[in-house]
Structure 1
């Protein structure tokens, strides 16, 4: 047995603190070393396992937050009871307040029955001020957003407008909801047809200052508006009235719809004719469009606005519900366009009701099924038969978490609805979607807006596209410079120069990316915009300058060339590159004016139709490429420098040139390390946040142009996560974006490791 003999340690040594038998016995000291080696080995193993566990926990936490997005919607019966106060007449409308505690039933006798939504217990009965000498002919509901107004059309040409209100008080710290009726234009019936003709169809929109009413009599379509005028010193307001008659045959109109702004009027006939009338000028309404929206053999059975009143939902006799939205045609004129169709049933669609705060809607068909759908996601969320009898009326609560349905057999059904994330589907996340008011389907990310009528746009495709685009342009700059620099530094550069160059480049990697992003956004982007032609000339003149200098250097006498130590050639190129760069920017201004008759940006715009954004992919490529270069350079240089010397010496001894040795021996042997360097650099580029956040403009557009901006997954999360509501759909979609980024890097790095191992096995025999 052989023992290593160690020199005697000083009194300050840690070994001196050990017991004397360990300090003086070589065998015991070897055991102490083995023990420390064992501790180090288990420490490394434990650290590696901890990293794996941390990564797995991150994955499952992301999955935990994202999973609720894909839980299907469900309904659960809460109660069933007889229709409250059935003797007061048939139900014209069901309504329910926000807390799902009090509901209302508007009857054809002019009574409003308020009752407890869960039990059917009557809370109050209130009579609408219907004159005794008239009876109700028509009934319509205004936009629920406009305070839930309804209108009664009477047999003598008059109408009554009433609003439902729910006052909340807290006596003894207990919530009490008190329903009531209010008359926004007064209790006196409004005379809408002076001849006293019956109002066969009616529609209303009650706004804060303007009320718009459209009625159909036997021979006319009348438009009446009331504009509130508040006197300066009077408490009560007066109304200015405007009347007009539409030049449309009344006999053709089966349904009337007014948007919530009171600017657009839609007249629908049962045979499929749709007329769009601009009523923004109440005194002179203008018919903008008239078209057939129904195929031969089909009839319209139900109509309703989708939330926001930008789209019409049309149900027909074959069980289809089509969504029609106003878009611009080829001549930039507004026109109704069918953007999607839902197959609801094989029987006629009896009624359509829209959600008040989302782009969802419910349907009732002739088979007795109640369906809940979301338009943007194109999802059928729920389809249930709530009773053996046909439904005659239904309402979904303002928060879309309760459903109240009256069936034909005189029963009322109250259901709880679990439908938190209807906006998300595979189509809305990854495919083109035709959004309201857009001319065609598109990939759009626009997660929020100031309007409650906003249609969320959660397409991850432009974010993934922006992530790959930013990484591509960064790697396009970084890979050639980093790899060529690594090859030269490791194989051609003198050791004395290498000891300065390598640490300097590696030190660049320690520069915070927020500093790079700051410089890119505030200095580099304006500089490149101003000197765009100089940037392109730089790519031409600098390589030509280096090649010209190399040629001239080769023509110099050998005595002069030999004065420069071998491996220090790159030092001579520093002033050449600096001078070439200065010359490129100096000559770019006159050459730009000569060749392009102005600026290069204007030439791109006028001749090629390519726009230029100041913060674009080119700026990101330069800034992020600068951040990625140290990573790729350091790993690749170590791999090349570690190639065994006997391989290079043997290659040179067999007659290969230095360049042949590099390209056919060194690079192949170092290829696993070089490939790892590229993959790690690519992963760095994909996950980069601050540079793309500050230098791209954060525009989620899908444009391959290097002059257009972008938005990446990482930057999007950083921008929007602080503003989103916890556990909302937006919040979970952002976590889904993080999961997509996590899975992307995981899969890509796994494939990279497999390829690296195969390269190592292939060239290990060299």
Structure 2
């Protein structure tokens, strides 16, 4: 074959086989590019879906309240005449908002249909002959226990109850009236009962009443006759000392230790009912510069709500001062324009209330969140009385002898920006604090949904984990990638990366059940090890470098790091062996006791130190692997060129290799931090889950991820607690997204800066 034929055969790229190979290669390239693009877009779409789903669950928390006319069968319920006779002293509804109750000044209890006003049942209270109703009191909205005071100095206590039956599968609610202290009126005063208050428990009650300037207290003790099952009441009446403050209205706390007196001119008197020497007034406060128009207790009976004719409602509760004395303190106030507050209704199951002004302006408030959920004019002019349903989903408004029923949508009033991220002054606390406490055993519990302790705990756990894990991971990666011989690297690197496959629940289990007790008993040994171990490594390295060549050449070049294994084991053993003697010599007792007693630093067995060690081991493989790959991937000609120019290996590492690998190292640290922030099982099992804000390394914490894992199974779907947990997840998502975005910007800048080396 001629040369021309050979050249022509070698340069022929259009043979059927070559064309077929090019077509297959182009198809593979196209398939790969489409697959990679589809995968990348799918990841972005998945992240966006997670973002919008979290936002969808969180958004209702910040929605305002809404009120509209109640609708039945798609028709608005029209206002109707007030059922029964007499002036309304109190207005309320039962659980389902189907039956309303009017208590009148003639001693009538009128149960009526809230849709049309039809009377369901009417019962007369046993008013003494010749007497009239002169006062009214309620123990609490939740209890449904009331009292009427009469002009002859007597009072009677009664309670509304409802019985549900289901004849033929249809629910029927039957109202009933019970008399906890008996059907006979109780004598409490020598003159007309102009003001009245009561409170107590099942067996012990206190009724305070009388004239405005002359009050008496009656203690009522109930006892059960086990033979006849009859309940008898023993009373003890005593006159209260002159308070020098004419009472306009009285309120008695549930424990009956404190009584509040509202007087003319906006004055408020605080009476200690159990003071030494008998009841005595401890404070006289000018609660408002106006006149008090409403004076009620918030759910739980710990907070006092005072409304005035200036349109302001303020919240007060007892706070212990520096002298260990209880002082009634104004905590927060709510303004509703300048019109006087004419009526107030307390929520039965939440720390909220509703007011209406003389101009018909209705406002919904939440005390804990210090939030106004709604402010709207629903009627023209002044309302005589308003009443919330127990579920806060309905409102009755009485105006000009007419009743109107309104539907309320106010699902999450206890959440606001301040309640989540700022200090809140909770009932019973001496000052505003960041607190997370989502549930309790009492119905009058004040939910505490501050995310600050959880965010702080998340950062605290991540900080100590990074403090422990990052130096070890990066230093190990530097040595493995740059100084270690290939044969040893092929054994060490897979072994460390294999640690990443260890389930974190195993690490958390070991940290909680073994490491935490071990560190508690051997705390001094831990700190001695931190001092002795680096010193032992440096001393051994110096000794080895000065050893005779005949000894050093026994170990192949690059394998001398293996000699550090027995050094580390012996140094650790030595540290724990001498620790007890150092403890006795320096502290005279165990180090953890000395830290608590002498330094005043609390020590918790499951603390941040345990988490730092356990979670540090969890993030070491991630940071090590990425950092090691980044350093090993630095082109060898850069290192060889630096060495050829006279630089030492260490100078080459610091000035050439590390800057070139810095984008990868930074990415490794950020990914490790993301792993630490999102870790759940280790912090769940090794921290004690205490949502506190304390930088103390010997105290525990609770993280956002652990809190979600703990409380999500027990939260009611759609509840405030449920959605606030989704908000915690949303915060964690945004935090991770921002950190990763910032990390990518820094990484790109480092790549641009050192990419030309």
Task: Look up the match of 1:12.
Answer: none
Moved more, 541-550 or 129-138: 129-138
In 1, distance between residues paired with 2:9 and 2:248? 106
CA shift digits 1:686-719 (9 cap, x unpaired): 1000000000111111111111110100000000
SS at match of 2:141: coil
From 81, 89, 94, the equivalent of 1:92 is: 89
**Cα distance, 1:219 vs. partner?**
4.9
In 2, distance between residues paired with 1:291 and 1:138? 24
**Cα distance, 1:4 vs. partner?**
13
CA shift digits 1:552-585 (9 cap, x unpaired): 1122223322332221121111111111111111
TM alignment of 1:439-450, pairs within 5 A:
439-450=430-441
In 2, distance between residues paired with 1:206 and 1:688? 48
TM alignment of 1:162-177, pairs within 5 A:
162-177=158-173
Moved more, 98-107 or 638-647: 98-107
Is 1:734 the counterpart of 2:725 in the alignment?
yes
**Cα distance, 1:169 vs. partner?**
2.2
Task: Look up the match of 2:180.
Answer: 184
Residue 670 and residue 244 in structure 1: after superposition, are their counterparts in 2 closer, same or farther (change >3 A)?
A: same
**Cα distance, 1:2 vs. partner?**
9.2
Question: If the length of structure 2 is used for normalisation, what is the TM-score?
Answer: 0.94
Q: What runs of 5+ residues in structure 1 fail to find an aligned partner?
A: 6-21
In 2, distance between residues paired with 1:355 and 1:533? 55
In 1, distance between residues paired with 2:113 and 2:267? 41
Is 1:479 the counterpart of 2:475 in the alignment?
no
CA shift digits 1:96-137 (9 cap, x unpaired): 111111111111122222221122222233222212311111
In 1, distance between residues paired with 2:43 and 2:9? 40
TM alignment of 1:229-248, pairs within 5 A:
229-248=223-242
Task: Look up the match of 2:279.
Answer: 286
**Cα distance, 1:260 vs. partner?**
3.0
Task: Look up the match of 1:395.
Answer: 387
**Cα distance, 1:442 vs. partner?**
0.7
Residue 288 and residue 666 in structure 1: after superposition, are their counterparts in 2 closer, same or farther (change >3 A)?
A: farther
Task: Look up the match of 2:692.
Answer: 701
Task: Look up the match of 2:154.
Answer: 158
Is 1:204 the counterpart of 2:198 in the alignment?
yes
CA shift digits 1:240-266 (9 cap, x unpaired): 212222223375222211123444322
Question: If the length of structure 1 is used for normalisation, what is the TM-score?
Answer: 0.93
TM alignment of 1:508-657, pairs within 5 A:
508-657=499-648
Residue 557 and residue 431 in structure 1: after superposition, are their counterparts in 2 closer, same or farther (change >3 A)?
A: same
Is 1:719 the counterpart of 2:720 in the alignment?
no
In 1, distance between residues paired with 2:83 and 2:330? 42
**Cα distance, 1:666 vs. partner?**
0.1
**Cα distance, 1:392 vs. partner?**
1.1
Residue 219 and residue 421 in structure 1: after superposition, are their counterparts in 2 closer, same or farther (change >3 A)?
A: closer
SS at match of 1:205: strand
CA shift digits 1:438-475 (9 cap, x unpaired): 11101101011111101001111111111111111111
In 2, distance between residues paired with 1:92 and 1:126? 15
Please tell me whether the aligned partners of residues 80 and 411 of structure 1 are also in contact (alpha carbons under 8 angstroms).
no
SS at match of 1:509: helix
In 2, distance between residues paired with 1:728 and 1:739? 17
**Cα distance, 1:492 vs. partner?**
0.4
Task: Look up the match of 2:73.
Answer: none
Please tell me whether the aligned partners of residues 153 and 210 of structure 2 are also in contact (alpha carbons under 8 angstroms).
no
SS at match of 2:433: coil
TM alignment of 1:420-439, pairs within 5 A:
420-439=411-430
Task: Look up the match of 2:309.
Answer: 317
SS at match of 1:483: helix
Residue 182 and residue 206 in structure 1: after superposition, are their counterparts in 2 closer, same or farther (change >3 A)?
A: farther
Please tell me whether the aligned partners of residues 444 and 458 of structure 1 are also in contact (alpha carbons under 8 angstroms).
yes
Task: Look up the match of 1:81.
Answer: 79
In 1, distance between residues paired with 2:471 and 2:271? 62
In 1, distance between residues paired with 2:734 and 2:486? 42
From 302, 305, 324, the equivalent of 2:297 is: 305
Residue 218 and residue 258 in structure 1: after superposition, are their counterparts in 2 closer, same or farther (change >3 A)?
A: closer
Please tell me whether the aligned partners of residues 439 and 445 of structure 2 are also in contact (alpha carbons under 8 angstroms).
yes
Task: Look up the match of 1:19.
Answer: none
From 466, 469, 474, the equivalent of 2:457 is: 466
Please tell me whether the aligned partners of residues 277 and 285 of structure 1 are also in contact (alpha carbons under 8 angstroms).
no
CA shift digits 1:353-392 (9 cap, x unpaired): 2111000011132333222100000011122222112011
Please tell me whether the aligned partners of residues 108 and 123 of structure 2 are also in contact (alpha carbons under 8 angstroms).
yes
CA shift digits 1:610-656 (9 cap, x unpaired): 11111111110000000000000000000100100100000000011
From 392, 405, 414, the equivalent of 1:414 is: 405
Deviating runs (4+, > 6 A) in structure 1? 1-5
In 2, distance between residues paired with 1:228 and 1:4? 113
Is 1:136 the counterpart of 2:133 in the alignment?
yes
In 1, distance between residues paired with 2:162 and 2:705? 45
Moved more, 390-399 or 357-366: 357-366
**Cα distance, 1:332 vs. partner?**
2.6
In 1, distance between residues paired with 2:69 and 2:568? 77
Please tell me whether the aligned partners of residues 313 and 352 of structure 1 are also in contact (alpha carbons under 8 angstroms).
no
In 2, distance between residues paired with 1:280 and 1:571? 76
**Cα distance, 1:206 vs. partner?**
5.7
**Cα distance, 1:39 vs. partner?**
2.6
Please tell me whether the aligned partners of residues 88 and 104 of structure 2 are also in contact (alpha carbons under 8 angstroms).
yes
Please tell me whether the aligned partners of residues 73 and 381 of structure 1 are also in contact (alpha carbons under 8 angstroms).
yes
Residue 606 and residue 186 in structure 1: after superposition, are their counterparts in 2 closer, same or farther (change >3 A)?
A: closer
Moved more, 357-366 or 726-735: 357-366
SS at match of 1:448: coil
Task: Look up the match of 2:100.
Answer: 103
**Cα distance, 1:316 vs. partner?**
2.6
SS at match of 1:238: strand
From 643, 646, 653, the equivalent of 1:662 is: 653
CA shift digits 1:512-545 (9 cap, x unpaired): 1000000101111111111111111111111111
Please tell me whether the aligned partners of residues 212 and 248 of structure 2 are also in contact (alpha carbons under 8 angstroms).
no
CA shift digits 1:474-510 (9 cap, x unpaired): 1111111111111110000111111111111101111
Residue 2 and residue 505 in structure 1: after superposition, are their counterparts in 2 closer, same or farther (change >3 A)?
A: farther
**Cα distance, 1:43 vs. partner?**
2.3
**Cα distance, 1:30 vs. partner?**
4.4
Task: Look up the match of 2:124.
Answer: 127
Please tell me whether the aligned partners of residues 324 and 338 of structure 1 are also in contact (alpha carbons under 8 angstroms).
yes
In 1, distance between residues paired with 2:9 and 2:472? 52
Is 1:334 the counterpart of 2:358 in the alignment?
no
In 1, distance between residues paired with 2:534 and 2:553? 25
Residue 4 and residue 335 in structure 1: after superposition, are their counterparts in 2 closer, same or farther (change >3 A)?
A: farther
Task: Look up the match of 1:264.
Answer: 258
SS at match of 1:249: coil
Q: What runs of 5+ residues in structure 2 fail to find an aligned partner?
A: 1-7, 71-76
**Cα distance, 1:189 vs. partner?**
2.1
In 1, distance between residues paired with 2:598 and 2:639? 53
In 2, distance between residues paired with 1:692 and 1:602? 24
**Cα distance, 1:151 vs. partner?**
1.5
In 2, distance between residues paired with 1:143 and 1:3? 101
Residue 218 and residue 436 in structure 1: after superposition, are their counterparts in 2 closer, same or farther (change >3 A)?
A: closer
**Cα distance, 1:94 vs. partner?**
0.6
SS at match of 2:598: helix
Moved more, 716-725 or 556-565: 556-565
Residue 285 and residue 167 in structure 1: after superposition, are their counterparts in 2 closer, same or farther (change >3 A)?
A: farther
Moved more, 73-82 or 585-594: 73-82
